[in-house]
Structure 1
């Protein structure tokens, strides 16, 4: 009897999907090409930035298993590809892991299987890149097996919204493909939203991700603008968000981290510019707003260092030789993941300018900058009182900011989390 689901890629997207499906009574196997990583998961060792250890233990008790054997992929009704697509040096999405997962699946793909891609990709990837790989052994999408795209909408650490109560967007290569994927996700998701096709579903991911980056960039520009004018931006945001329509509050910070990177419109591959009939055309309208957002957000780490140097200078101290304590080096509050976090670039610039750096983060026991370990503060209060400057980069709930503002010689708050007047704020 075939298993219900195979999840290919057991990272920050794949494991939570497997968790939700297992909890709903779906028989799940996880495909992880690295045998050591699969063994770690089966032993209850959680990959960083995915699940709590207790969640993985419940999954294993519910029958979930990870494997590096691709033969199991021939015994499932549904296969969901959740392979990572990190940004390369050219800021283009790296589809290597998606390609490897697709090739592993294609060698064992059976008729009537439903295949869904959830990885973050460019519009056109499902049909232009994934489909040919899956059809290599003769089966045809829409005729012999179902193929669809569904953007992952996971928000790590969000206590209110999770996979079950977040609407699931699905776009299939045919209406039947869409319905097959909808029937599967309907087993553990409350609401299904049908897109016109996979390209539309992929563009949903593009729109949602870049919406975040563009609005954070505007907030970051406002932070610099308001500081130069002597305006309290955080009070401006507090007042503006009382408007019940036409406004959504975004807050500035030291940069933009996390796995959902903005799509570089100049890095879109040729297959993504292919219309359905296969006639090539070039993209004539690059996403200028996204380009500008990337420029603004990428400047923020440098701006934070400039503010740090200016704050020290105002108090008769130089950044060179100053003892600087960084608080919170993860990309999001109360999570351990450092993916894309601006802290490393800020730390690098501070060290290059001669600062003596140390850090504190309850979720990061060891941290390296410029391939060298950075000393970790054992006593937060003592470190803050001894440092010439303390910089809050991430507001973890465990931080008593009012108390830290009293203890610290100087405190630069890049998150607007301290009480008004207690610290210098971004």
Structure 2
């Protein structure tokens, strides 16, 4: 155990002398018996489902968040996320195994501290690890011997050891000797009814055998399967690989869409037929651009880190270029269709943007391409409104702050009839696409949401 100059430990003499092996054994026993207290920092799309899964596994859970409204709501049994049903939050609170707090001092009582904070990109598309750094400093202020700290935020390989570890060791305690430090990437898919937190296998990695064992025992109690890897850097690379795989394949199908469109071939029909092959093919679908926290952002974490090693990342960067250009190609398609079908310019046209969430059936707007579409259409002089049954009000975002506070219009045939065109950016279920196509003279569909529409199909343009 290290201490800064002139500092003396306030721990009892017996605990100071306790070996790291004994610390691990004691923590392991608490994890196995479910006596351990698990603190989860960040009650968002990752942290809240994880808290529910940990509480259901029998752990006492402390949910930490800097937003007082979230803390108050959670303690009252309310969910602030549409992808997390309120009855699950209410049941967790009623069980007596969960409390929310905004007090960092409460982290001292935890046996395991799981970090689920954002890792965005800066305006220059460089990693912004300020939330991880700030969280590390909060933990360091109360860190004690025998605690397990796990980073779950997606980031570049090396972050756990190169960024988080120094912040924690500023406490005077040493990772691997006084406390345990590991990495386990989140794998949440908001709105996915088939794969909840407990059903998704967890990758875990740490740089010493004792911590690897503790990670296995912690996550093994929460999820159906744990996949251990040799160290934290490998686990960090696993998460990036998963999202880069998606980014590159989405870029590929977006490019194929353009090629097949010129040839008069329906990309959606091609994909449906191709996915009938039971091996060697996995379907990906085109769209108006990438959204969500992971796929639009995570690949650039590896691009940034790869520069340190002098390695080019051509596939990643090319995929980024194609996916970033997707919203602008959609607008060109809309502009051409307005001119050809309605003899109208986009300037002065009334456009309905259908959906601002980044994916169907959730209220998550992080990195949504709909915001790019909205801003670019208005820059070209269009009058734009939006409808989204899951997003009644556009929240504040760093990149699109002027859009914050704009409200979804009410859905009715009369309201729809006032628009020249509708642009389907998000294919929410439950939307009446028959009424949409009956009411609006031009529908630009980027998601194949109108595939089941029978009447007025001549009004639909795929984009």
Establish whether TM, by shorter chain, passes 0.5: yes
Corresponding position of 1:293? 319
1:219 aligns with 2:253: yes
Contact in 2 for aligned 1:46/1:56 (Cα 8 Å): yes
The answer to whether structure 1 residue 357 and structure 2 residue 387 are counterparts is no
Tell me by how many angstroms 1:262 deviates: 3.3
The corresponding residue for 1:402 is 434
The 2-side partners of 1:108 and 1:95 are apart by 21
Q: Does 1:25 align with 2:62?
A: no
1:97 to 120, 127, 131: 131
Deviation at 1:41, TM superposition (A): 3.0
Residues 144-199 of structure 1 deviation map (CA, whole Å, 9 limit, x = unaligned): 22111001001100011111111110001212111101101111211110111100
SS at match of 1:254: coil
Give TM-score scaled by structure 2 length: 0.85
**Residue 245 of structure 1 corresponds to which residue in structure 2?**
279
The answer to whether structure 1 residue 113 and structure 2 residue 147 are counterparts is: yes
For residues 197-244 of structure 1, what are the alpha-carbon distances to aligned partners after superposition, in whole Å with 9 as ceiling and x for unaligned?
100000001101111111111111111112222211111111111111
Gaps of 5+ in 1: 274-280
2:14 paired residue number? none
Q: CA offset at residue 400 of structure 1?
A: 2.5
Q: Given that residues 392 and 407 in structure 2 are in contact (C-alpha distance below 8 angstroms), is that contact kept between their aligned partners in structure 1?
A: no
Matched, 1:54 2:87: yes
2-side partners of 1:49 and 1:11: how far apart?
11
Residue equivalent to 1:335? 362
Tell me the C-alpha RMSD between the 2 structures.
2.1
Shifted more, 143-152 versus 197-206: the winner is 143-152
For residues 383-426 of structure 1, what are the alpha-carbon distances to aligned partners after superposition, in whole Å with 9 as ceiling and x for unaligned? Answer: 33331111111111111323422332111110012227552112
| In 1: Cα distance, 2:154 partner to 2:302 partner | 17
Shift of 1:320: 1.4
Q: Distance in 2 between matches of 1:90 and 1:258?
A: 18
TM-score scaled by structure 1? 0.92
- The whole-number CA distance in structure 2 between the counterparts of 1:90 and 1:20 is 36
Higher helix fraction (1 or 2): 2
CA change 1:11–1:367 in 2 (3 A) is: closer
Alpha-carbon offset, residue 282 of structure 1: 2.9
What pairs up with 1:178-257 in 2 under 5 angstroms? 178-257=212-291
Instruction: Please report how far the alpha carbon of residue 25 of structure 1 lies from its aligned counterpart in structure 2 after TM superposition.
Output: 1.5
Counterpart of 1:38?
A: 71
Confirm whether residue 347 of structure 1 aligns to residue 383 of structure 2.
Answer: no
Secondary structure in structure 2 of the residue aligned to 1:264: helix
- Whether the aligned pair in 1 keeps the contact of 2:207 and 2:230 (CA below 8 Å) is no
* Alpha carbons of structure 1 residues 42 and 370: separation in structure 2 relative to 1, 3 Å: closer
| Contact 2:169-2:175 at 8 Å conserved across structures | yes
Equivalent position SS for 1:115: strand
**Greater Cα shift, 178-187 or 364-373:** 364-373
Q: Deviations over 1:68-115 (max 9, x none)?
A: 222221221111111111221121221111111111111222222111
Question: Which of the pair has more CA radius of gyration?
Answer: 2
C-alpha deviations, 1:4-33, integer Å up to 9, x for none?
A: 101112221111111111112110011223
Number of matched residues?
A: 416
SS in 2 for 1:187: helix
Q: Tell me the residue number matched to 1:144.
A: 178
- Tell me: CA distance 1:34–1:406, structure 2 relative to 1, closer, same or farther (3 Å): closer
Conserved in 2, the CA contact under 8 Å of 1:12 and 1:49? no
Distance 1:370 1:122, change over 3 A: closer
Alignment of 1:138-177 (within 5 A): 138-177=172-211
Partner of 2:444, secondary structure, is strand
Q: Report if the CA contact (8 A) 1:215-1:250 is conserved.
A: yes
8 Å CA contact 2:83–2:363 kept in 1: the answer is no
Contact 1:127 1:173 in 2 (8 A): no
Q: For residues 424 and 117 of structure 2, what CA distance do their matches in structure 1 show?
A: 33
Asked whether 1:264 is paired with 2:300, we answer yes
The whole-number CA distance in structure 2 between the counterparts of 1:367 and 1:123 is 34
Shift of 1:3: 5.1
User: Structure 1 residue aligned with 2:349, among 322, 342, 366?
Assistant: 322
State the partner residue of 1:276. Answer: none
Select 1:411's aligned residue among 443, 448, 454. 443
State the 1:380 CA deviation: 3.5
